[in-house]
Amino acid sequence: MDPNQPVTENYANPKTCFFHVLFKAAALAFYILSALFIDNFVIIFVVTVLLAALDFWVVKNVSGRILVGLRWWNEINDLGESVWKFECLDQESMARMNKKDSWLFWWTLYLTAVAWIVFGIFSLIRLQADYLLVIGVCVTLSVANIIGFTKCKKDAKKQFQQFASQTLASRFSSTLSSAFSVV
């Protein structure tokens, strides 16, 4: 092994990365190929939406937790209001997250939504309103994960900043109090 060659980081969770990409690719591939080989819209709709729903579930409940250490969900409180809930790993665990895993997670999350939007534009141009329904469901599921994980990431950063400022303030006050108690 050449010591001058940079060490490349491998995926820490290759199986999770595989399934993170699998359902996205399967939904997109089925949608593209079905237009060529299947003449039944109901089958195209059901299978594509099922694959997109599986992708949504895997990303939200499995790969988000494992690849980037984030988890989100939405609850309805007693007043009937929608409340976003977020979970993240502690700062030390987040710092140890694999960069390649994180990169794959975020890029595929955004690129999938972009791909569905491009397909939507093509369906609009070709005046295929029925296919816009399929794409609308797939875009909605993709964007829901993007919004959920982006809000979760921002909430995690805010929590880390609050923790850091509280820790700093606590250490400063204990140092200050110990300085005056010695006198």
At 94 the pLDDT is: 67
Torsion of CA 68, 14, 115, 87, to 10 degrees: -20
Q: Tens place of pLDDT for every residue, the chain, 183 residues? A: 555 555 566 877 888 889 899 999 999 999 999 988 888 999 999 999 999 999 999 999 998 888 888 888 888 888 888 888 878 777 676 667 778 888 999 999 999 999 999 999 999 998 988 899 999 999 999 999 998 888 887 776 666 555 545 555 556 555 555 555 655
Instruction: Specify the pLDDT at position 121.
Output: 94
Query: Residue 64: which region, alpha, beta or left (left: phi > 0; alpha: psi -120 to 50)?
Result: alpha
Whole-structure pTM value? 0.76
pLDDT at 161: 52
Q: Which amino acid is at 122?
A: F
CB neighbour list of residue 106: distance below 8 Å, 6 or more residues apart: 68
